[in-house]
Structure 1
Amino acid sequence: MDIERAIKLIEKSDTVFAAVKDRKVIFVSEERGIKPALEFFFLGKETTQGSSVADRIIGKGAAMVLSLCCCKELYGGVISRDALASLKKGGQTVQWGTVVPYIINRRGDGMCPLEKLLSNTEDPQVGLDIIKKFLMKLGGK
């Protein structure tokens, strides 16, 4: 029931990411990329644990961050193979619209940089550290 509500939010509005828990919308975002998953993660496990999350696009970075949130169930409108494998390996209940080989970067000319950076790790905590370092480098430019 919660996952259906979250999915409706991302399908029928400008919302890109939605989390529902106990029939209440607890978080929505119109931001692109990894930002919504990170913002949701930083709400804390007391808030995120047991929630149902729908995201229009789930790459491996978002998958790793969301696995640390202890969500009850996840939906990705588009999900990369590595993201799906990571979530399944972590025991997450996951649904999806389309599975793609990888998430394409914003220029549309190659692989998302986080998909590349995370290709050699399966540990979500290590993945989170890699994501943080990547974003710090971006912020320094």
Structure 2
Amino acid sequence: MRDRYLEEAKELLYKEETRTCAVVWADEAAKEPYVSEEKGIRPLMKLLEEGGLALSNGCLADKVIGKAAAFLAVYGGVSQIYADVISEAALRVLQAEEVYCEYREVVPYIVNRTKTGRCPMESAVWEISDADMAYRVLKEKING
């Protein structure tokens, strides 16, 4: 069930056109809201690299959620998600983990930036079904 924290995350996301991601924590005393203009999964990876369950109880609003971002959200303990665009695979991950999710549009998969195929991060976890494994694969892919 959606609450005011998810609405607050959505407001932060759209406050400036260049924002791509916003997180608000249900425990207001825990952290200041987080906003990012970085593309892809980098904002979520940055929060996760801060250690532990950096996203725990977070309400995430993001312009695009593919399977990679969905796994990272699950891995970090996000409780609610809003996405402008979400892939079918991401939606299945979130539903399986019972993460509340709102979205504007569902697409078969997230396309890469050149629009010539599937997003490389979504492709990297396409056959994975475990959030821990997905995090390890994505971390290795990003850190190269």
Q: 1:121 and 1:46, CA in 2 relative to 1: closer, same or farther beyond 3 A? A: closer
**Tell me, what secondary structure is at the counterpart of 1:48?**
coil
Q: Distance in 2 between matches of 1:133 and 1:72?
A: 25
- Cα offset, 1:34, TM superposition: 0.9
- The within-5 A match list for 1:19-98 is 19-21=23-25, 22=27, 25-45=32-52, 47-98=54-105
Give the letter for the 2:64 counterpart: I
- Cα offset, 1:114, TM superposition: 1.7
Equivalence for 1:11 = 14
TM-score (structure 1 length as normaliser): 0.89
Give the letter for the 1:75 counterpart: Y
Contact 1:18 1:25 in 2 (8 A): no
Contact 1:72 1:93 in 2 (8 A): yes
Q: 5+ unaligned residues in a row in structure 2: which ranges?
A: none
- The within-5 A match list for 1:120-135 is 120-135=127-142
Q: 1:116 aligns with which of 90, 111, 123?
A: 123
Give the letter for the 2:120 counterpart: P
The alignment's C-alpha RMSD in Å is 1.6
Report the identity percentage: 31
TM-score (structure 2 length as normaliser): 0.87
